[in-house]
Amino acid sequence: MENQYLIWAITLGGLSAASLPLGSLLGLNWHPSNRTTGALTAFGGGALTAALAVELVAPTAMHLMHAEGAAARSEASHHLVNMLIGAVIGGVLFASLDSIINSKGGFLRKTSSTISYFTSKKAARRKQIIEHLGSSELIRHLPLDMVEDVVNKVNERNFAAGELLFSEGDAGDVVYFIEAGVVSVSSGSEHVADLESGDVLGEIAMVTGAQRTATATAKEDTLLLALPKDDFDHLRKESPEFESAAQALAASRLQELVDRDDVEADAEQWASQAFAKLSEATVIPTDTQLHEASEEHGGAPMAIWLGILLDGIPESFVIGSALVVSITAAIAQSGADSVTFATMVPYTLIAGLFLANFPEAMSSSIGMQKQGWGRPRVFFMWFSLMVMTSIGAGFGFWLGGSVGHGVVVLIEGLAAGAMLTMIAAAMIPEAVHLGGSNVTGLGTLAGFLSAVAFKLLE
C-alpha cells in the first residue's frame, strides 16, 4: 500500500503542476493584454493564498481550538508554534535564496522583478548623473525642482583615445561633465591640464558665448555627459537664480569661487538633496533591453530555472506531506479500506496550486520569448519543472511518513512561509504593475473564493 500511496503523491504533484506546461503553451501562442495577464496573476495569487490558509494553517489552528485536556492542548500548541517558526524560517530562506538567484539573472523569470531591476538600474544611473552634475558650481545654483529636467536632457558621449572633443576657436555649444577617462586640454602648443572624472569642461564658453579658448582631446577612452547649449540657455530663462549664477561665473571665471575642498563638500550635499527631489520612474523594459539583460547575465537561463524551481519546491513538499496526514487520519478513524484516491485528494490545495502556476508560466513564457528564447526551450523548461514537482511531492510523502507529526507541521510552516512571501513579493506586485490595483483586488478575491469553493468536493 505504501507504494500505492507514493504513486498517489507523485500523481497529485503532477496534477498541480500540469498548469505549468499548459500555461507556457498558451503564453507562447497568445499574448494577452497587460490587464488580462495582471488579472490572471492576481487570481492565481488569491487561489494560492486560499490553499495555504485552508489546507496548511487552518488544520493546525483548528486542532488547537478543539483539543481537550491539558496534554492534548500542550501538543496542539507545540504544533502551532512549530508552524509559526517554520513560516518565519521559510519566508526568510525564500527571500535570501530568491535574492541570490535574482543577482545571477533569475529576476528575468517574472515581470515584477524584471521591472524592479530596470527601475533600480535607472535610479542608480540617475544618481550617478546627479553626482557628476554636482561638480559644477553653476549647476548647483539650479532650483532642485529643475534638476530632474536637466538629468533627462543630458546625454552620454563616448570619445576614443586621441579623439578631438573641440578645438580652440570653436563655438561653445555644449558643456561636458567627465564621468570616466581623461581629457587633455591645450592652448596653442602648450599643455594646460589633464581633466579627469568629476571635472567640468566648457562651462565658461557656454555662459559667455565666447569661442573656445583651448583644445580638448580624449587622452584615453572617455565617457562624458553632455548638456547642449539650447537646453543650457533654456535653464537660464526659466530660473533667475541660475541666470544670476551664470552672470557671476562669467565675471569671476570660476577662480574666485570657493576653494576645491568646499566645492566637493557642497557638491556631495547638493547631489544628496537633488536625488531626493527626483520622482520615481518605473521602467517597462523593451524587448531589446530584455535581450541585452539576458546576454549580460550569462547564467540567466539556469538562474531562471532555479528561481522557478525555488517557487515550486515548497508546494511540492506540501502535497506529499499533506497526503501523509490525510491518509494517517483516515486509517486511524475508519481503517485502510476507507482510503481511496478520490477521498484523499486535497482539492483546495491542488486547485490553488494549479491556478497559481498557470498565469505564472504564461506570463513568464511571454517574457522568455522576448529575451530571445526558442519555443521548444521554453516549453521544455516548464515541462521539466512539472516533473520536478512530481518528484518533490513523492519526496514530501516519504519524508512526512518518516518523521513525527510535529516535524511535518514544521515543514508545512516552512512551505507556507515561503509561498506567502512569494505571493506578496512577486505575484501581487506583478499583478498591480500589469493590471492596476482594482483589477488586482478583484482578481485576488475571485481566486481566493474559487479555491475555497473546491472544499465542496471533499
| Model pLDDT, residue 252 | 58
- How do residues 183-234 score in pLDDT, each as one tens digit? 999 988 899 889 988 888 887 777 777 788 889 999 999 999 998 988 888 8
Residue 258 pLDDT greater than 70, yes or no:
no
- How do residues 107-138 score in pLDDT, each as one tens digit? 777 777 787 888 888 888 888 888 888 877 77
Instruction: State the average pLDDT over residues 347-358.
Output: 88
Task: Give the integer Cα–Cα distance in Å for 64 and 75.
Answer: 8
Domains of the chain: residue spans and CATH: 2-105+297-457 (no CATH), 121-277 (2.60.120.10)
Confidence band, pLDDT 50/70/90 cuts, at residue 12: very high
At 232, which amino acid appears? F
Q: Report the candidate in 287, 278, 304 with the shortest Cα–Cα distance to residue 113.
A: 304
* % residues pLDDT > 70 (the chain): 92
Q: Count the neighbouring beta carbons within 10 Å of the beta carbon of residue 166.
A: 20
Q: Residues 58, 315, 42, CA angle at the centre, nearest 5°?
A: 80
Task: Give the integer Cα–Cα distance in Å for 56 and 83.
Answer: 9
- How do residues 32-56 score in pLDDT, each as one tens digit? 888 998 999 999 999 999 988 988 8
Helices (H), 104-175: 111-133, 147-153
User: What string of H, E and C letters represents the secondary structure of 131-189?
Assistant: HHHCCCCCHHHCCHHHHHHHHHHCEEEEECCCCEEECCCCECCEEEEEEECCEEEEECC
| Model pLDDT, residue 261 | 42
List phi, psi (to 5°) of 168: -60, 130
User: Which cell goes with 424?
Assistant: 506578496
Residue reference for cell 539650479? 142
Task: Give the integer Cα–Cα distance in Å for 291 and 357.
Answer: 24
Task: Give the integer Cα–Cα distance in Å for 14 and 175.
Answer: 63
More confident site: 256 or 200: 200
Bridge partners of 187? Answer: 190
- How do residues 387-414 score in pLDDT, each as one tens digit? 999 999 999 899 888 888 888 888 889 8
Task: Give the integer Cα–Cα distance in Å for 26 and 31.
Answer: 8
Residue 253 pLDDT greater than 50, yes or no:
no
Instruction: State the average pLDDT over residues 63-73.
Output: 88
| Model pLDDT, residue 259 | 45
Average pLDDT, the chain: 84
* % residues pLDDT > 90 (the chain): 29
- How do residues 362-384 score in pLDDT, each as one tens digit? 888 887 887 778 899 889 989 99
The widest CA-to-CA distance across the chain, in whole angstroms, is 102
Q: How many residues does the chain have?
A: 458
Strand order in the sheet with 190-195: 164-166, 215-218, 183-187, 190-195
Task: Give the integer Cα–Cα distance in Å for 82 and 61.
Answer: 12
Bridge partners of 158? Answer: 223
